[in-house]
């Protein structure tokens, strides 16, 4: 990654629109391209593979005509993320509108000065005046206590604007009093699945601090964040251009469900969808004993 830094910075400048003239890059590209063609030509392919390749349909080039007249490539990172199924499956429906404001992604690996532990940090820059949250730059850092085990996660505290927080949802539930038989409706706020949960601080509980279920849940959450940040660091950031252009193969080979869905809802929980009704018309009430998700106002 260290050797790629100058190229990644150049890529950032092009994506942001800071660099719009590419004439000086053409001679270098042509020279590198010729060198790569020689290396590819020298590779001996197994017998029969060339015929198979010829039979395959050529992949159509990525249509970038929509960028004409635009500054930079505003949707570069959103499209690159979508092409990586491992990452995009963590982006929920309510997160997608926010991702349209994503402008830059980078990762770094360093060493903690006190513990000498390795630290991997994911940085994501969004539009400064986006309608969802502040600050516009979000960080999440993983501190490793061993090569594979994360000790602690530190993230940016996100200040969500009114009604824009995808990490929370409101549940409406009708409760029936056991003695009187009277019912009442209560609304409570609970956690919701969201990509932006990765920015929460997390730490492995010390021995005896939590029961086995809570400890297992803490491990699972940390493992999920670790896997996602490592996917950014190892896969997406170094090869984002290939993902944007659709050169990297999808992950269907891993047996992933092509219709990635959000976490399963409890049978008693339903999303309250806005109903079209005439002015003054009655709205249907939820059935007794059922919970419903309320749209944030």
| Domain spans, the chain | 5-55+68-257+285-294
pTM of the model: 0.75
Q: What is the pLDDT of residue 45?
A: 65
Q: Are 148 and 271 in contact (CB under 8 A)?
A: no
In DSSP notation, the chain reads -TTTHHHHHHHHHHHHTS----GGGHHHHHHHHHHHHHHHHTSPPPTTHHHHHHHSPPPPPP--GGGTTSSS-TTHHHHHHHH-HHHHTTS-HHHHHHHTTEEEEEEEEEE-TTT--EEEEEEEEE-TT-SSEE-SEEEEEEEESSSS-EEEEEEPPPEEPTT--TTEEEEEEEEE-TTT--EEEEEEEEE---GGGGGS-EEPPPTTSS-HHHHHHHHHHHHHHHHHHHHIIIIITTTHHHHHHT-S--SGGGT--SS--PPPPPTTEEE-------TT---PPPPTT-EEEEPP-
Q: Which two tokens stand for residue 157?
A: 């505290």
| C-alpha–C-alpha distance, residues 46 and 43, integer Å | 10
User: Which of 138, 256, 152 lies closest to 204, judged by CA?
Assistant: 152
Question: Measured over all CA atoms, what is the biggest interatomic distance in the chain, rounded to whole angstroms?
Answer: 85
Tens-digit pLDDT string for the chain (297 aa): 678 888 899 899 999 999 888 777 778 778 887 887 777 777 766 666 555 555 555 667 788 888 888 899 999 999 999 999 999 999 999 999 999 999 999 999 999 888 899 999 999 999 999 999 999 999 999 999 988 899 999 999 999 999 999 999 988 888 787 778 788 888 888 999 999 999 999 988 777 666 778 888 888 999 999 999 999 999 999 999 999 998 876 544 444 444 444 444 444 455 554 444 444 444 444 444 455 566 554
**5-55+68-257+285-294 maps to CATH 3.30.1120.90:** yes
The pLDDT value recorded for residue 161 is 97
Query: Residue with structure tokens 């079209």?
Result: 276
What's the pLDDT at 286? 47
């Amino acid at each position: 990654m260290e050797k790629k830094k100058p190229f990644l910075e150049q890529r950032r400048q092009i994506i942001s629109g800071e660099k719009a003239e590419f004439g000086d890059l053409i001679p270098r590209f042509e020279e590198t391209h010729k060198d790569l063609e020689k290396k590819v030509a020298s590779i001996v392919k197994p017998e029969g593979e060339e015929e198979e390749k010829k039979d395959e349909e050529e992949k159509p080039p990525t249509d970038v005509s929509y960028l004409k007249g635009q500054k930079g490539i505003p949707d570069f990172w959103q499209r690159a993320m979508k092409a990586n199924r491992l990452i995009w499956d963590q982006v929920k429906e309510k997160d997608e509108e926010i991702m349209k404001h994503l402008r830059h992604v980078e990762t770094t690996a360093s060493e903690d000065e006190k513990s000498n532990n390795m630290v991997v940090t994911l940085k994501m820059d969004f539009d400064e005046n986006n309608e969802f949250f502040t600050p516009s730059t979000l960080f999440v850092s993983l501190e490793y206590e061993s090569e594979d085990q994360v000790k602690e996660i530190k993230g940016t505290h996100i200040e969500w604007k009114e009604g824009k927080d995808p990490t929370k949802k409101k549940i409406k539930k009708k409760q029936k009093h056991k003695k009187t038989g009277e019912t009442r409706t209560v609304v409570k706020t609970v956690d919701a699945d969201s990509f932006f949960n990765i920015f929460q601080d997390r730490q492995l509980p010390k021995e005896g601090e939590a029961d086995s279920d809570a400890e297992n849940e803490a491990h699972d959450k940390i493992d999920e964040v670790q896997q996602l940040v490592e996917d950014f660091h190892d896969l997406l950031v170094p090869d984002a251009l290939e993902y944007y252009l659709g050169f990297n193969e999808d992950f269907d080979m891993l047996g992933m469900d092509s219709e990635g869905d959000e976490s399963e809802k409890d049978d008693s929980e339903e999303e309250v969808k806005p109903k079209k009704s005439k002015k003054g018309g009655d709205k249907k009430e939820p059935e007794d004993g059922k919970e419903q998700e309320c749209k944030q106002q």
